[in-house]
């Protein structure tokens, strides 16, 4: 098969969940004998034309000049380019800035869209933007031959609204097997002496709730907050939560660094509340993290009973003060690792995508 992947900033992953998905799928699909192209922003630091057998197509992206609107231009450039590539399958990762251009997609390839989470529920967006995103979701659903839902909750939501065929395929992760505590020296922490938050600093990720709970706690452990804090909301958090136990660190894309931080943290606080199966959560599970997650259907679907949950700052404070790696928590960690092996596994996820692609071409 000739497969084109559109909708990310590109590979190798220097940004987020969809980029990791594109990288993991593309490399594995090439290993299965397929030809795969991934579209990269021309701003992407990787400038080569191929990556581990995957062909890279660099397209102009003016986001650095015009902000968010640049994402729409970049997606249009990718879609226009796809018209002469003779793809059998086009995998669209997300719909936020691409669905308005669906009419320009080539007619021959089967268009399959991974619908991500309920983007219109994100509190960072104004009511007008939320209204646009509802329409964008509808356009993507109508313009695709098949939709991928990364969680059962998203699948149920899509089934209620659209007649398009919907398939549930989760994200994946890989068990972290080679911890190296020397990596921690770069961050000035010792094993299990710190808590960890890794997220985009946005309201729906409940960062402020976590930080308020940490401030209320009696624990003297430092909490590392990893994410781009050079934003308006990031500056607000830094100015509001001035506490020697809270340290803000820029986004980390060195996999060795971030996996070791996850592995050696005391509590991994996961506040995501509106997405589907969150890649950062799966990575924490794969790194044997002891997890305290926001109590919502998305996180419950992934973690089940194998986590501690929070809804308010008192829950956070109690977790910071009381959670320990006792026999109960170790069993939860073990169960989460088994889920990575049995369900949230990139090899299995790739097999599922490949089967869906093959059946879509029949």
Q: What is the 3-state secondary structure (H, E, C) of 14-45?
A: CCCHHHHHHHHHHHHHHHCCCEEEEEEECCCC
Instruction: Calculate the average pLDDT of the chain.
Output: 94
Same domain, residue pair 224 and 285: yes
Exposed/middle/buried for 309, CB within 10 Å: 0-12, 13-18, 19+? middle
Same domain, residue pair 350 and 337: no
Please state whether the peptide bond connecting residue 205 to the residue before it is cis, i.e. omega within 30 degrees of 0.
no
Asked if residue 227 has pLDDT above 80, the reply is yes
Which pLDDT score is estimated for 124?
Answer: 66
How much is the average pLDDT of 138-162? 93
Alpha-carbon dihedral 78, 83, 88, 92, rounded to 10 degrees: 30
Asked if residue 315 has pLDDT above 70, the reply is yes
Same domain, residue pair 144 and 16: yes
Same domain, residue pair 231 and 303: yes
Which pLDDT score is estimated for 133?
Answer: 85
Confidence of residue 252 (pLDDT cuts 50, 70, 90): confident
d(CA 86, CA 24): 23
Asked if residue 178 has pLDDT above 80, the reply is yes
Same domain, residue pair 288 and 240: yes
How much is the average pLDDT of 205-216? 97
Domain range for 235: 181-342
Which pLDDT score is estimated for 122?
Answer: 66
pTM metric for this prediction: 0.92
Confidence of residue 118 (pLDDT cuts 50, 70, 90): low
Instruction: Give the chain's domain count.
Output: 2
Same domain, residue pair 164 and 200: no
How much is the average pLDDT of 241-262? 94
Same domain, residue pair 277 and 349: no
Same domain, residue pair 10 and 156: yes
């Amino acid at each position: 098969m000739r497969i084109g992947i559109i909708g990310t900033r590109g590979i190798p992953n220097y940004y987020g969940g969809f980029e990791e998905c594109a990288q993991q799928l593309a490399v594995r699909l090439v290993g299965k004998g397929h030809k795969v192209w991934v579209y990269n922003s021309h701003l992407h630091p990787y400038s080569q034309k191929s990556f581990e057998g995957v062909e890279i197509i660099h397209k102009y992206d003016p986001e650095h000049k015009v902000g968010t609107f640049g994402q729409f231009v970049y997606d249009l450039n990718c879609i226009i380019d796809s018209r002469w590539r003779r793809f059998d399958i086009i995998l669209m990762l997300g719909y936020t800035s691409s669905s308005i251009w669906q009419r320009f997609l080539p007619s021959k390839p089967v268009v399959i869209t991974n619908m991500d989470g309920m983007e219109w529920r994100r509190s960072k967006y104004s009511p007008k933007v939320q209204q646009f995103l509802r329409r964008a979701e509808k356009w993507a659903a109508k313009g695709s031959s098949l939709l991928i839902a990364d969680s059962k909750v998203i699948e149920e939501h899509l089934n209620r609204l659209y007649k398009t065929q919907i398939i549930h395929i989760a994200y994946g992760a890989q068990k972290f097997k080679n911890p190296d505590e020397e990596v921690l020296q770069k961050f000035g922490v010792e094993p299990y002496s710190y808590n960890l938050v890794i997220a985009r600093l946005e309201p729906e990720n409940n960062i402020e709730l976590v930080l308020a709970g940490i401030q209320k706690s009696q624990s003297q452990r430092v909490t590392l907050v990893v994410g781009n804090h050079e934003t308006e909301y990031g500056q607000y958090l830094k100015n509001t939560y001035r506490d020697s136990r809270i340290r803000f660190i820029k986004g980390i894309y060195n996999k060795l660094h971030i996996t070791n931080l996850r592995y050696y943290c005391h509590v991994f606080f996961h506040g995501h509340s509106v997405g589907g199966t969150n890649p950062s959560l799966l990575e924490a599970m794969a790194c044997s993290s002891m997890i305290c997650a926001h109590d919502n259907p998305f996180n419950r679907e992934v973690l089940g009973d194998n986590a501690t949950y929070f809804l308010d700052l008192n829950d956070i404070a109690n977790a910071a003060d009381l959670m320990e790696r006792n026999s109960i928590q170790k069993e939860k960690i073990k169960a989460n690792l088994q889920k990575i092996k049995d369900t949230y596994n990139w090899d299995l996820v790739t097999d599922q995508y490949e089967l869906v692609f093959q059946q879509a071409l029949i």
